[in-house]
Amino acid sequence: MTQDAASPKATAVPSYPMERVSPIDPPPPLALLRSGPAASRITMWDGSQVWLVTAHAHVRAVLGDRRFTAVTSAPGFPMMTTTSPLVRDKPHTASFIRMDDPDHARLRSMLTRDFLHGRAEAMRPVLREHLDEMLGELTRGERPVDLVRGLTIPVPSRVIALLFGVSDEQRELIENRAGILIDRGYPPAQVAAARDELDGLLRDVVEERMRMPEPGDDLLSRLVVDQVRTGKLTVEEMVPMCRLLLVAGHGTTTSQASLSLLSLVTDQGLADALDKDPELLPKAVEELLRYHSIVQNGLARAALEDVELGDVTIRAGEGVVVSLSAGNRDASVFPDPDTLDPGRDARRHLAFGHGIHQCLGQWLAKVELEEMLAAVLRWMPGARLAVPFAELDFRHEVSSYGLGALPVTW
């Protein structure tokens, strides 16, 4: 039997996002919903009702199905945050994460070469050098050290600056505006203004490259030479593309690295396992991605046609939120899912999404995470939390769940 919005089972409608009980585990009602129908009704902050999908198989089914659109102006598209309506009103500023194919594929394909596994690996030695320099300086100073300010915020930002080939001064300006976009603490109008300013800054950088007879060998220069000058990409399209890389690549990596380092300094089993066998690091990083699932409220889509999802019919024009954190704690795929087990094969995790929008920067993110963990193990042997766990500042309001600070000593 299929179920739809009007069926009796859909009467108790929880509000979403749900509150965490433990700072580390997803909200408990998600586990209950996962054992129920393929999708359940939830009420969003604006009072609208949409479907919530929690089981691993159903999350993959939705994200892999072209009948669900990522275009925010589509009827029924869930408004995840109070700033979503402002973004929805301006479809011309959308980046390809909010487009369907063929538009999405045309733009994404211009970047795929730069984000291949091999390209990310090629950045590893440069990144390691930066990390040794940063940690050398950090460990010479006073203890405790805040690994968020000292490491997990600056590293993704330096990596993006390296990719883009921008100066430190440009990086700081860009970073400041991008920070407002990532943090949910700002009023919607200020977020929209920061996005316009960021677009202005990025446009200046792009136009600077356009004026150079022979731009360099960075990502932005390659886009200008191969795509803009050949008429395949307009500057109007390139600006949101750069903004996407900045916003998608920074806050996420910072949050995931902060929580991964928190696990490293609080979970003796993890620290011992990595000490004993450094080769375990890539596996442990996959498990940390599964376990922390920092895109905590999941991903939004809207149905373009009626879709049967397991025992539920999702009607055309209805919104869907897929919970990556619920899917990543699905015991049918990851036995004993609430345990962090660095030895497990967690590669089927959903932390990077699934389907055509699956994270473009995933190889780069994994290299950054591996290198940050390895650097802390190298420079701060026996690192431990310098404050009681209960005093940690977990950032619930940011789009990717993380920590405001991580004070450690060693």
Q: Which residues bind ligand HEM (CB under 6 A)?
A: 70, 96-97, 108, 244-245, 248-249, 252-253, 256, 294-295, 299, 351-353, 357, 359-361, 364-365
Per DSSP, which regions of 2-71 are E strands?
Answer: 40-43, 49-53, 68-69
Least Å distance, CB 300 to ligand HEM, is 7
Nearest C-alpha neighbor of 81 from the set 182, 199, 174, 194:
182
**Exposure pattern of 79-101 as b/e (b: 16+ CB <10 Å)?**
bbbebbeebbeeeebbbbbbbbe
Smallest gap from residue 370 Cβ to ligand HEM (A): 11
- Cα separation, 359 vs 365, in Å, equals 9
Amino acid at 100: D
Kindly state the smallest distance separating residue 293's Cβ from ligand HEM, in Å. Answer: 8
- The CA distances from residue 3 to 7, 14, 77, 314, in Å, are 6, 17, 20, 9
Nearest approach, Cβ of residue 359 and ligand HEM (Å): 3
Distance CA(266)–CA(127), nearest Å, equals 25
For the CB of residue 46, give the shortest distance to ligand HEM in the complex, in Å.
20
Smallest separation, CB 366 to ligand HEM (Å): 8
Structure tokens at 140: 């010479």
Task: Pick the closer one to ligand HEM by CB: 27 or 251.
Answer: 251
Q: CB-wise, 3 or 314, nearer to ligand HEM?
A: 314
Look-up: residue for tokens 């690295």?
257
Instruction: Tell me how far apart the 2 most distant CA atoms of the chain are, in Å.
Output: 67
The backbone torsions φ and ψ at residue 200, rounded to the nearest 5 degrees and listed phi first, read -65, -45
Nearest CA-CA partner of 62 in 29, 39, 31: 39
Minimum CB distance to ligand HEM smaller for 77 or for 352: 352
Overall size of the chain counted in residues = 410
The minimum distance between CB 340 and ligand HEM, in angstroms, equals 16
Q: How far is the CB of 7 from ligand HEM (least distance, A)?
A: 28
Complex with ligand HEM: residue 2 or 109, whichever CB lies closer: 109
CB of 315 to ligand HEM, least distance (A): 21
- C-alpha to C-alpha distance for 398 and 410, rounded to whole angstroms: 29
Q: Smaller CB distance to ligand HEM: residue 3 or 250?
A: 250
Taking CB atoms, the residue at the shortest distance from ligand HEM is 361
Look up residue 39 and give its amino acid: A
Residue nearer to ligand HEM on the CB measure, 3 or 372: 372
Q: Rounded to whole angstroms, how far apart are CA atoms 230 and 115? A: 21
Residue 214, both tokens: 């022979």
Alpha helices, DSSP H only, in 212-315?
219-222, 235-266, 268-276, 281-292
- b/e map 27-48, b = 16+ CB within 10 Å: bebbbebbeebbbbbbebeeee
Closest CA to 50 of 20, 82, 17, 25: 17
152/375 Cα distance (integer angstroms)? 12
Between 159 and 314, name the residue whose CB sits nearer to ligand HEM. 159
Smallest separation (angstroms) from ligand HEM to the CB of 1: 31
Output the smallest distance, CB 155 to ligand HEM, in A.
10
Nearer to ligand HEM, 54 or 253 (CB): 253
